[in-house]
Amino acid sequence: MSYFAYKAVDASGTEREGFLEAMDAGTVYGDLYEKGLYVVSIRQSSKLIADIRHAFHARRVRRLHLIEFANNLSIMLTAGIPLLTALGDIGTTIDDPFFQGIVANLKHSVEEGASFSDALAMHPGIFPDVFVRIVRIGEETGRLERSLSDVATHLQKMEDLAQAIKRALIYPSFAILTTMGALVFWLAYVLPKVLTTFREMKVELPLITRMLIVVSDFMQHFWFLVPLVPVGIFFVIKGLQRNPRTKYVVDRAKLRMPIARLVTYNKLLALFCEQLRILIVAGITIDRCLVIVGDVIGNEVFRRAIAAVKEEVSFGTRISDALRRHAIFPPLLVRMVDIGESTGNLDEQFTFLSNYYLKKLDDISEKIGKMVEPIVIVVIGILFAIIIVGLLLPIYDLISKVGKM
């Protein structure tokens, strides 16, 4: 089997690009013709290039595209429109050519006899695992339209969560970048001009001024290291997270950092509650829910705690009692789960908790600027105070010597 890159147009004249695995170019022509596409060009390619291109395009498929797709499909199925017809109609309204091709592939797979969930599972880089699982349960229960609506609601909450985190990080990132930029400008451009005057006048320089000269010289010759250091730290942290032991240490540090802890911790709690909510609503057993949530939580500290809770629940322990043994789960969460177990409405309790932590994260994102601002002002004040003192001390000494003459 070989890989072939193709360009084609559909009946509406929209250009499509993609890769197909086939025995030869003739098979590719046949497959594309069956999909209602008219071939413009075909060339042989490789699996590596196909995977790289697919990964690049997959990153362009935003969560909002999936929300719109799931919501529209749910509405059309509720109205009694057949799945194949609905997929065909939705495909014609999508602006992104790559995602349009994905929807066309879904329709083609279903036409060939695959279930809709299996067709979704063929595109793991596009549709998240929870999307596929909930659709599969909807097919088994005959409530596919309800499952798709639940998926759209879940993805919208995940999008709200991501946007809240972005809002929380905008101000600190901007403040740090502007502060570092101003400091580098002072040290690499302004300060050397002033210090050169002191050197020419052969003024005896105090220790703090000599330290500034060393830093200034370093900045003049190695200024390019300033943007490289954060990038290097980022890749070092990513490398450490590849190892479970070091990942645990890094993730625990994230949960203990001042201010940043508020964002990270509440994000993880919101994700934990929202994932459990949607999985419980879909009818998945609680032990299986905990396994799935542990795989997607993205934090080793939480993952280990969830794995321990899953083991205890498997042996018959109540969920709230298992959660209570781990300090990482706050008392509010434990109490609400306890009430949900007692009343049989655990999904409603997780719905409340999910909304609560999302709202809390929103509030933090609005307040974090005010929380960071004093710290930034103090840091800037200290740095520039050092610079000013380092400049004024030699001037004071110079004036004193002139006065004695």
User: How close are the terminal C-alpha atoms of the chain, in Å?
Assistant: 93
**DSSP code string of 244-255:** HHHHHHHHHHHT
CA distances from 275 to 52, 271, 286, 325 (A): 30, 6, 12, 21
Residue 397: the pLDDT is 67
Helix ranges restricted to H, 186-259:
191-200, 207-222, 225-240, 244-254
Residue type, 139: E
Q: How far is CA 313 from the centre of its chain?
A: 30
What are the backbone dihedrals phi and psi of residue 241, each rounded to the nearest 5 degrees, phi first? -75, -10
Return the CATH architecture of domain 2-59. Answer: Roll (3.10)
Ordered by start, the domain boundaries in the chain are 2-59, 62-127, 154-405
Helix ranges restricted to H, 282-345:
286-296, 300-314, 319-324, 331-343
Residue 168: the pLDDT is 72
Written as six digits, the tokens of 387 are 């610079």
Tens digits of pLDDT across the chain (405 residues)? 566 777 777 666 666 666 666 666 677 667 776 666 777 777 776 555 544 454 444 455 678 888 888 899 999 989 888 888 888 888 888 877 778 878 887 887 888 788 888 888 888 778 887 888 888 888 887 888 888 888 888 888 888 877 877 777 777 777 777 777 777 777 777 777 776 776 666 667 777 777 877 777 777 777 677 677 777 777 777 776 677 778 888 888 888 887 778 888 988 998 899 888 888 887 788 888 898 888 888 888 999 999 999 999 998 899 999 999 999 999 999 999 999 988 888 888 998 998 898 888 888 877 776 777 777 778 778 877 877 777 777 777 666 665 555
pTM score = 0.66
Residue 368: the pLDDT is 73
Instruction: Identify any residues that bridge with 38 across adjacent strands, giving them in sequence order.
Output: 9
SS (HEC) of 269-291: HHHHHHHHHHHHHCCCCHHHHHH
Residue 404: the pLDDT is 56
Return the CATH architecture of domain 154-405. Answer: Up-down Bundle (1.20)
Q: Are 292 and 271 in contact (CB under 8 A)?
A: no
Identical fold at 2-59 and 154-405? no
Q: Are 210 and 192 in contact (CB under 8 A)?
A: no
